[in-house]
Amino acid sequence: MNYTVKQIKCKIFEWYKGQFIKHPTFFDVEIAKNEENILIIDFTFAECLAQIHVYEPDFAPFKYVAFDALSLVDESRIFYFYDTDRTTENEVIEQLNKGIEICSSYKPKK
């Protein structure tokens, strides 16, 4: 890993601001929490919800970054990403972009 929690928090916050330019009408976005060592971003899409957590957990399946997306129909997980000690900043952003793309086009099975 080549970043600290503060560095990746800043990088993700900048990424977040860019999402309004790329996807101004696809979803609603809200900063649920933005403090020195924690960032939580909530996304509401037509058919799913997603949340990004950036912080240094005491115990979790991720190092600093978690992206989880759930279907609004049955609450099944449709996408997730957890960073590890080997994840790069660019890989984090690539996975966040992938998650947004999947959530934006998600259609539940009927």
Segment 70-102, tens digit of pLDDT: 999 999 999 999 999 999 999 999 999 999 999
Smallest CA-to-CA distance from 49 within 39, 41, 59, 57 is with: 41
How much is the pTM?
Answer: 0.90
Q: What is the DSSP letter of 86?
A: T
Q: Give the pLDDT confidence score for residue 28 in this predicted structure.
A: 85
DSSP H/E element including 77: strand 77-82
Q: Which residue has the tokens 């080997």?
A: 86
**The two structure tokens encoding residue 1:** 């890993």
First-last CA distance in the chain: 41
